[in-house]
Structure 1
Amino acid sequence: MNDELKDFAFLPLGGTGEIGMNLNLYRLNGKWLAIDCGIGFSGNDMPETDILLPDPEFISRHKDNLLGLVITHAHEDHIGAVAYLWPDLECPVYTTPFATSIVKRKLREAGLLSEVSVRTIKMADRFKLGDFDLEFIPVTHSIPEAQSIVIRTPYGTVLHTGDWKFDPEPVIGEKTNLETFAKLGQENILAMVCDSTNVVVKQAPQSEASVRRSLTTLIASLKGRVAITCFASNVSRIESIAYAAKQVNRPVVIIGRSLRNLEVSARENGYLKNIPPFYTEQNMSDIEQNNIVYIITGSQGEEKAALTRISQDLHQHISLGSGDTVIYSSRTIPGNELAVKRVQDNLIRRNVKLITSKTELVHVSGHASYDEVCQLYKLVRPKYGIPVHGEWMHLNAQANVARESGAEPILLEDGDILRLAPQNPTIIGSAPYGRLVIDGNRLLSVDDDILAARRRMLYNGVVVASFAVNKKGELLSDLNLSAPGLFDQYDEEFGDVVSEFSQILETLPIAILHDDTELIENSKTILRRILGRKLKKKPFVDVHLIRI
C-alpha cells in the first residue's frame, strides 16, 4: 500500500453547503466507508426537475475499496438515493430495523432487492467494517431510530452526529442520553462532524409532545374537514396527528403513496401500535366525510403531490373548500418558498382556512438549535468541529459555536478531501462532485446538454421549421413553422417571420442549397436572427429538411 493512503480522511460529496443530498465518505488506509445516501429538492431555480441526487462518480471509481454504506436514519435526504445510486456503489448497506424496512421497499420497487445485501444493525450496537470500528448512539429526531455514529480508528475517533436534537419529551423513542455523549467526551475525540440545519435558531424548540397537545386542542376547535400536511417520513408527527384526531373521534385518512408505505414500515417495526389503522382513498367512502382528518403529502409544494392537485381542484377523490382547514405541520425547505406559496394561495382562493407554524404550535424542528449544539460540543469536547448538513449560513454559524466551545472549526464544501490524521487536519485535494437529476428511468447530470436544452426551451420557447426542397434546393411547398407558446399562427407577426424566412432561403448560395447539412445549419442561424429581432428572445430552434 502506498504511504499516501496510510491516513484517515473525510470527504463530503453532498449535503455540505446545501440542504439535502447527504453523501459522506471516510477513508482509512485506502479503504472507504460511506455514510448516508440521500436526495434533495431542486427548488425554484430548477423547474425542469423535482429531485436531485449527489453524483457518486468519485466513489464509484473506488468501489472495490468501499466497505459499506451506513444509514443514520430513514429520512429521504439520507436514504432516498440508495436505490438510484447503489449500482454505482455495489456495497453492503447497514441500517437499523426501521430503516431496513424503508430501504428494502425502495430496492424492491427498483428491482434491486435480490442484488443488495442489507444488514440490520440494532440500535446502540457496535460493529466493525474493516478497520473502521463503528458504534451507534441513538438520538432523538423526527423519525424512529436515528443514530449518531462513533468512528474509532487507529488515528483517532470521530463523532458523525447525523440529524439529532435534545427533545425533553419525545413521542417516539427515548430521550437522547446525554451521559453517553459525556462518556464519549472522555475519549479525546479528534473531530465532530455535526448537523448544522437549525443552529441559526437560538433556543431549543418545544418538544414533539407539545405539538401533540397543541394539535389535539386545535383540531377539537375546528369544524369541517381538516387536512394536515407534513413530511411523509415524520413518523412522530404522523402519530401526533393520529393521536389528536383519535381524542376528538375523527377518522384519519392518509393520502399519498409515500405515506402508505411509511405506515406499513412503521407498523412492521412496532410503531403506531396504539393508533387504529388509517383509512385510504379506496375505503374512505365508508366514513362520515365532514369529520375526516386527512394526512396528506405536498408540504413543499411539489407539482405532482396530492395537496398541490387538491389546491387546483384536480384531485380524483378530494375537493376542499369553504369550511375546511389545511394545516402546514412542517417547515419550508429553502428554495421551495414560491412553490409552497403558490399552493397556499390556491387554497385560500378556494376559501380554505390556512394554519401554519407562524400562528399556531403545529411544528417543531427535528434538528438541534444553537443552545443544543453548544451543549453537545461541551459534552463531546472534540478537538475539531466540522459543520455539515446545511447551507453556508448554517455552516458558518456552527463554526462560531465550535470556536466558542474551544474546538477549532474546519469549514468544508462538497468535494473537499480533508486528511484528519496522522498530521494536523489539512485539505489535501478535491474530488469530482455534482448533482444528478431523475429523468424518467435515467439519471442525468444537471450540466447535461439535454437539461440545458430543456431549460432553454422552458424560458425561451422552441421553434421547429420544416420544408421540402428539390435537388436544386428550390422550395417545393410553403414553409411549415411551429412555435407554440411564442406566436399565435394567425398573428400578422407570425406571418412576417414565415415570409422573411422563406425569402432569405431562396437567396442562399447554390453550394449551400445543394448540401443538406449546410442548408440545415444556415436555416437555423437565419431563423434565430429573425426571432431574436422579433421577440428579443433566443428560442431553441430545430429544422427538418426533406429533399425530394
Structure 2
Amino acid sequence: MSGRNRLIYMPLGGAGEIGMNAYVYGYGPEGKERLILVDLGIAFPDMDSTPGVDVILPDIAWLLQRLDRLEAVFITHGHEDHVGGTGHLFGQIQKPIHARKFTANLARRKLQEKGQDPKNVITAAPFPAMIDAGPFQVGFLPVSHSIPESAALVIDCPAGRIIHSGDFKIDASPIVGEPFDPDLWAEAAKPGVRALVCDSTNVFSKHPGRSEAEVAPNLKPLVAAAKGMFVATTFASNVARLRSLAEAGVASGRSICLMGRAMRRMTEAAVEEGILTDFPKTVSPEEAADIPRESLMLIVTGSQGERRAASAQLSRGKYFGMELKEGDTFLFSSKTIPGNEKEVAHIMNNLSEMGVDVVTADDGLYHVSGHANRPDLETVHKLVNPQVVIPMHGEHRHLREHAKLAESLGRTGLVVPNGTMVDLAGNAPKIVDHVETGRTYVDGSALVGQFDGVVRDRIRMALNGHVVVAVMVDDDDDILEDTWVDIRGLPEVVRGSAPLAEMMEEHLAGQLARIDTRTAGDDEKLEDLIIKGVRKVAQDEIGKRPEVTVLITRLAAE
C-alpha cells in the first residue's frame, strides 16, 4: 500500500455549507502527495453567532503545515465565497494563483488591498489550454453562471481525469459571459472522467433552470410604471443583471447611479477586461442629488441585508445625500441566501414604514438563479458520464440528496463533507482520513481562530452582561473597605429602585470582611470568591450569570 500513488480530494470548506469554498486535490505516495488548492473563499458573519466579525475564512492549518507540497491555487470564478479569501491568506500561502482574466482582475485587487504583489495572480486561457502544476494539468472549462467568465476545472493526473464543476447553470443566453457549451463539455469528458465534483446548491429545485435573458423583459415595464425614485439591489457580481437593470432605467428616461464600493468595483473590472462594452452611462451620487426623483434610478449594494451596504443605509436614513420617500420603489432583484432572511426582512420593513413600495423576486419575474437545478444536474451527469459523483457546494442535506440523484442515474454517489479525505485512485473511492476543519475569523485587522475564545467571550458578554470589580489589598493582606463595581449590559436598577451595582458592592463588602489573610493574599482564590459573590447577587436579582473581570491592586509598604 505504501508504494501506491493516491489521488486525494478533501474539502476544507464549501462541502456541508454554502460559502467559504476551499478544496484540496493531491497526487503521489501517501503523505507525500503534491497538492493543488481549488478556490479560497469566505463566508459572511451574523450578529447572533459571530458578533463583530468582518468575514469568515476556512481554516487552512492542515494545508499550511504542508506548504512545501502545494503547487498552486486555482480560482473558478469571482464570487466572494470562492475568491474572497485570497487577499487575507495569500501572505501565508505565497503560491501562484491561476484564474481567468475577469476573476484574475478581482483577485489582483484583493492582493493589492493587503499589500501583496498582484503579479502572483496569473491569467489563464480557457480549455483546451492546460496549466502544469506538479503532477497535475489543469484547464479552465467555461460555464455559465451569475458572474462573467466562470469555469469548471478539468484536472488531469496519472490516475485519471476529474471535472470540478465550480458554480454553474445551463444557460444558452446569459446576456454577459459565455453560454453553456455542451459540445465543449463533451470534448472534456471524452477521455473518460474518474470523478465529477459537482455544485449541489439547487438539487432540490425540480424544474429546469431559467435563463438570465428571461429577466430583462420583465424589468422594463416595472421601472416604467414607477412614479418616484426607483432603487434596485442585486448581487454586485451579477454584471448581466446590472446591465439589464440599467437598460430598463434608461428606457424609462432615468439617469443611472451605482452606489456601493462592490458595485463600482465589479463594473470597473468588467469594463477593464472587455466583458462589459456597452454599459449605460452613469452619474455620480453627487450628480444624482440634483436629478428629479422620477428621473433617477439607483442600483445599490446590500441585497443580503449587509448592515454597512447601501440598501441598509438607505433604509435607515440618508446615504450619500440620497433619501427615500413615500411613493418610491425598491426592487430586490435577488434571492435571499439562507441565514440572511432576518436582515433582509428588517430592511424591507424599514422601507415599508417610509412608504416605499417594496418589490421582491419571490414570483420569479425579477431574478433567476445562477446554479443548476435538478434537471440540469442530471443533464451534466449524463454528459460527463463519470465513474463517481462527489457533491460539493451545499449544506449536508444538499450533498446527500445529490448523491442519491447520482445513484438513481446508475453512478456512485459519495458524500464527502469538510475535513473528509477520499482516495479516488483505486477501483472504488475510499475514505482514508478525517481532518479537523473549522473557521478563521477576520476580526478587524486580526485573524482569530474559531476556538480561540474571542468570539465566544463576546457572545457570553452579549447574553449575560459584564461586571468589573476593583478591590484593593494592603501590605498586610487586609482588604480595604471601598470595593468598586461597574456594570455593562445589565439593568442598573432592580426591585424598582435598588441600584444593582450598589447591591453587589454591599454583598462583597460583607463577604470580604470575613475572609482570612491566606485567601486575601492569593490572587486566584480572591478572584474566585469575588466572581462567585457577584454572580450570586446577579442570579438572585435578575436571573443572570454575568462575565466578571476582577482588578486586584496590592499596596506595597513605604
What range is the shorter-chain TM-score in? over 0.9
Partner Cα separation in structure 2 for residue 101 and residue 282 of structure 1? 28
Cα displacement (A) at 1:315: 3.3
In structure 2, distance between residues paired with 1:301 and 1:50: 14
Matched, 1:77 2:84: no
Q: Is the 8 A contact 1:98 1:145 kept in 2?
A: yes
* Residue number in structure 2 paired with 1:18: 17
1:233 positional shift: 1.4
Residues in 1 aligned to 2:192 and 2:394: alpha-carbon distance in whole angstroms? 26
Which consecutive residues of structure 1, in runs of 5 or more, have no partner in the other structure?
A: none
Residues in 1 aligned to 2:514 and 2:368: alpha-carbon distance in whole angstroms: 69
Return the offset for 1:283: 3.5
User: Contact 2:479 / 2:520 at 8 angstroms: preserved in 1?
Assistant: no
For 2:531, the equivalent position in structure 1 comes to: 524
CA drift of 1:47 comes to 4.1
Deviation digits for residues 276-332 of structure 1 (CA, Å, limit 9, x no counterpart) = 343233443343344221111111111222211221225352221211111111111
The residue number in structure 2 matching 1:117 is 120
SS at match of 1:3: coil
Q: CA deviation at 1:44?
A: 5.8
TM-score with structure 1 setting the length: 0.95
Contact 1:44/1:338, CA 8 A, preserved across alignment: no
Matched-pair contact (CA < 8 Å) for 1:227–1:293? yes
Aligned with 1:460 (options 452, 458, 464): 464
Residue 313 of structure 1 aligns with which residue? Answer: 317
SS of alignment partner, residue 40 of structure 1: coil
Q: CA deviation at 1:489?
A: 5.5
Whether 1:32 and 2:70 are equivalent positions in the alignment is no
Aligned position for 2:517:
510
Determine the structure 2 residue equivalent to 1:401.
405
**What does 1:147-546 correspond to in 2, within 5 Å?**
147-313=151-317, 315-359=319-363, 361-476=365-480, 478-488=482-492, 491-494=497-500, 495-546=502-553
Q: CA 1:3 to 1:40, structure 2 compared with 1: closer, same or farther past 3 Å?
A: same
The 2-side partners of 1:338 and 1:357 are apart by 16
Tell me by how many angstroms 1:544 deviates.
1.6
**Which SS does the other structure have where 1:41 is aligned?**
coil
Q: What's 2:108 paired with? A: 104
Q: What SS is found at the alignment partner of 1:27?
A: strand
> Shift of the alpha carbon at 1:518?
3.1
Superposed displacement of residue 480, structure 1: 2.4
Residues 228/139 of structure 1: CA separation in 2 closer, same or farther (3 Å cut):
same
Alpha-carbon distance in 2 for matches of 1:316, 1:482: 39
Gaps (5+ residues) in structure 2?
A: none
Offset of residue 517 of structure 1:
4.0
**8 Å Cα contact 2:247/2:280 also seen in 1:** no
Deviations 1:28-72 (A, max 9, x none): 111001110001123464141352110110111111111100011
Matches of residues 81-96 of structure 1 in structure 2 within 5 Å?
81-96=85-100
Query: How many Å separate the matches in 2 of 1:152 and 1:254?
Result: 42
Does the CA-based 8 Å contact 1:44-1:335 persist in structure 2?
no
Give structure 1 regions of 4+ aligned residues with deviation exceeding 6 angstroms. none
Give the percent of matched residue pairs that are identical in Structure 1 and Structure 2. 34
2: distance between equivalents of 1:50 and 1:397? Answer: 32
Q: Match of 2:372, SS?
A: coil
> Residues 501, 277 of structure 1: CA spacing in aligned structure 2 closer, same or farther, 3 A cutoff?
farther
- Cα displacement string for residues 454-482 of structure 1 (whole angstroms, at most 9, x for unaligned residues): 11011111111123343345554633222
Query: What displacement does 1:17 show?
Result: 0.4
Q: Secondary structure at the match of 1:421?
A: coil
RMSD after superposition: 1.9
User: What TM-score do you get using the length of structure 2 for normalisation?
Assistant: 0.94
| Amino acid of the structure 1 residue aligned with 2:498 | E
For these two proteins, the number of residue pairs brought into alignment is: 546
